[in-house]
Amino acid sequence: IPWLVLMIVVAARLNYLDLVGIILVIGLTGWSVTARVVRSQVLSLKERMFVERGRMIGSSNVHLLSRHIFPNAFPLIFANTILTVAVSILSESVLAFLNLSVKSNMSWGRIIAEAYQHDALTIGMAEWIIIPGLCIVFLVFGFYLFGYALDEILNPRLRRR
């Protein structure tokens, strides 16, 4: 099931979402991508020569995790977290636009929804849709660029190029 559809179904099922509910819905539907990326990285690191050598000399699993696997997986985890923030911003905007989020809090998605409901495009008030939309685009794009730059800086395979 696509994460957006699942998020909308869960949010609609809960009927009313407060701030904690929104965080839970976004968190519960968005963790799987990060988990898959981290799992594949850890499985790859587990098979590397330096981990095998650590096992051969009798290092404990805790030592291997804390000294070898986690430090090598941390850059990927950190960069992926930054990208997850961008997806979370988009998710909240979609929920707010669909009136499935906190009614009392104003967000860019809610501003676009209100403008759309009051026919802002037809009465010549398009800036009430365009400006919040551009703010969402620029903020999300900024987080993506930041995550991409971090990945390029921290990922040793990308540094070699």
**Tokens at residue 159, please?**
């540094």
Residue 102 predicted with pLDDT over 60: yes
Reported pTM? 0.78
72-86, pLDDT tens digit by residue?
Answer: 888 888 888 888 899
Beta carbons of 110 and 98 less than 8 angstroms apart:
no
What was the pLDDT predicted at 74? 86
Residue 156 predicted with pLDDT over 70: no
CA distance 39 to 158: 20
Cα-only R_g, the chain: 21
Residue 161 predicted with pLDDT over 60: no
Residue 103 predicted with pLDDT over 80: no
CA distance 42 to 66: 12
129-151, pLDDT tens digit by residue?
Answer: 999 999 999 999 999 999 888 87
Provide DSSP, 33-80: HHHHHHHHHHHHHHTSHHHHHHHHTT--HHHHIIIIIHHHHHHHHHHH
Beta carbons of 106 and 116 less than 8 angstroms apart:
no
